[in-house]
């Protein structure tokens, strides 16, 4: 846990979030600035800044939870995205997977 990290604060409940999943090691919630409806973030409870800071068993759980949420949302088209470092557009230094549904164009934006 990090005292200043906003995602650690979300896990501790110090910053409110729209939680969609929680287990012993993993937390998932809706992105505050969604790129589409249902855009979620899947994070380890253990603080680590980048992908290489997270143990393999934790990484596989993160991906399994990402898959579970995609199945629960019933989306057929979606992106899974994970940024590392400022140049790669990482803004929050706590590892997170984005799950970004891509609705059919006939369903409108977001």
Q: CA torsion, points 49, 52, 56, 60, in degrees to nearest 10?
A: 60
Respond yes or no: is residue 96 known to be catalytic: yes
Q: Is residue 26 part of the contact set for ligand 5GP (CB under 6 A)?
A: no
CA 89 to chain CA mean position, Å: 15
Contact region for ligand 5GP (CB under 6 A) — 46-54, 55-63, 86-94, 102-110? 86-94
CB 28 within 8 A of CB 65: yes
| Cβ proximity to ligand 5GP, 55 vs 85, nearer residue | 85
Write each residue from 18 to 57 as x if it is in contact with Zn ion (CB under 5 A), else as -, in one continuous string.
-----------------------------x----------
Which residues are CB-contacts of 82 (< 8 A; sequence separation ≥ 6)?
51, 95, 96, 97, 98
Residue number of the CB atom closest to Zn ion: 5
Catalytic residue IDs: 96
């Amino acid at each position: 846990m990090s005292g200043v990290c906003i995602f650690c604060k979300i896990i501790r409940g110090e910053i409110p979030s729209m939680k969609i999943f929680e287990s012993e090691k993993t937390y998932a919630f809706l992105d505050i600035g969604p790129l589409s409806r249902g855009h979620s973030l899947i994070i380890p409870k253990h603080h680590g800044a980048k992908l290489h800071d997270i143990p393999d068993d934790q990484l596989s759980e993160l991906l399994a939870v990402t898959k579970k949420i995609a199945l629960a949302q019933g989306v057929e088209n979606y992106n899974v995205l994970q940024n590392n470092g400022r140049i790669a557009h990482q803004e929050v230094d706590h590892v997170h997977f984005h799950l970004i549904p891509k609705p059919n164009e006939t369903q409108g934006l977001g």
